[in-house]
Structure 1
Amino acid sequence: MSRALVVHQVGGPEVMKLEDRDAGAPGPDQIRIRNRAIGLNFVDVYQRTGLYKVDLPFVPGSEGAGEVTAVGAGVSEFKAGDRVGYIGPAGAYAEERLLPAARAIPLPKHIDFETAAASMLKGMTAYYLLFETWKLQAGESILWHAAAGGVGLIACQWAKALGATVYGTVGSEAKAALAKANGCREVINYRTEHFPRRIRELTGGRGVDVVYDGVGQATFEPSLDCLRPRGLMVSFGNASGTVSIPDLGVLAAKGSLYVTRPTSGAYFATTGELRKAAEMLFAAIRDGAIKVTINQRFTLEDAVAAHRALEARETTGSTLLLP
């Protein structure tokens, strides 16, 4: 019998209950995975609170890595014992789970289970933001909010390796030091500095080419003042609340700005897109462009505490749940 954290009603971290739950036999085109490491991400919070709608009851978690224990009919590319990682769909907060084989990612030898679970969703998010949403070029400049977070640390390193000038925002001096050690040329503590004014100073009044914002409501509108004319605002998360623009004229007044709200579902709709992103990430880790930082580890039993720490912004880098 396997164990899993199950959500029967949306709410705070305490709604996650550890239960015995048999993963079952894989159906056609499915594999069963024994998780060795599970990634913690803000999308898990969005689903648990009901911000993102998921049918109840459900098992949270969109990222993990482990060993294939069984394959269903029609699966020929995987066998029992293979090492795989995955991002989405929900169901990762479990000792064992079923997964469509098309969403599994073979792990190369140089990627261990913890590195995979700590980097795939965050690193592949960084991939589509830097390579697809805006094809970042050497010499361009970006602002990354929550630069010491899981996505931020990976993305800022990757952007620097591409030759971009990277500015970041954080909420403490400790996080500022971490972000500066991981790709940021300058880091702004938004609790003590007015970050739009500081960005204008750092860029000689021009503004940056792109702002990447996973924070949401608290940072969205001030971020528009950080952009150069015809710059791009990339809103990819809602950690502080959802974003709305009541008047598109704001974008005209601030320099004919562009705004986009990308999601991994749109960028990784096919198996080929998914695995291309993983290959790019794993190559960047192999080549040393990205160092994956795991700063928190919790047991599966302590997932409630892990969620509380994440929501309180007490975490840096990647956080793992270990079954």
Structure 2
Amino acid sequence: MGFFNKIKEGLSKTRHAFMEKVEKLVSRRKIDEEFYEELEEILIMADVGVNTVMQLMDELRDEVKKRKIEDAEELRPVLKEKLRELMKAEQFPMNIQEKGLTVIMVVGVNGVGKTTTIGKLAYKYKNEGKKVLLAAGDTFRAGAIEQLEVWGKRAGVEVIKHQAGSDPAAVVYDAIQAAKARNVNLLLCDTAGRLHNKTNLMEELNKVYRVIKREIPGAPHEVLLVLDATTGQNALSQAKLFGQAAGVTGLVLTKLDGTAKGGIVIAIQNELSLPVKFVGVGEKMDDLQVFDPQEFVEALFA
């Protein structure tokens, strides 16, 4: 199943909550102030984000004037066109090195599906013929190391680990040495996601980041922030926090199939200068999909 079909299936809750309301609105209202207010409300409820919604509404009003649109039905393609523009046209490929070792750091708060994402990435890249290794750098959360080992077994990939409570930077250092010795192509590093003390967490991540940089010039090649799509606007604030502190290069949005708040993808793409690189649209190993912004909009209107 290609990305379009997967994302179409995964977006069914969002499409139901968003597009069906838009359809009802355009079929029964003429374009007036009340129409704009209702449309604004629908977009905000789908978690498109207030700033993005305001921008979108201004652009729609301009187009209506410019094209002299009177029938609300004619607004449907205009809305789609504007969303496509907001989503930025191109895909952002992963920075995977052709030669030598690629190091990817995976960050995010607990409970967003970080470990699961690492397992699915390991599976994806192993299937593409790469030699993959995992670093169990979340040494704080009870069961995190064991959970990563379960995913490692599923993907057929080895995990470098220390005891629970040990220094994450030391784990990552050992994993880098093992990766070099074994001619590994790709090292995926799990990190702690506890949020009770943001400065501690960010210092910890920074230490891991510095160890990677020191051992492999130019690394980490990607710092992926995992966000739970079901948390809507909360995901946006997490992205802002981590983006500033952890040198994030791209986002992974999990549980998109479990939410009617899929509009958060639009808000994130528009309001942060961080590309969405993968989306999770199910439980299976291959349900982590490379994100295509244009197909996302197509699937929303499908």
Report the TM-score when normalising by structure 2: 0.31
> Of the two, which has the highest radius of gyration?
2
Q: Which has the higher helix share?
A: 2
Q: Which has the higher strand share?
A: 1
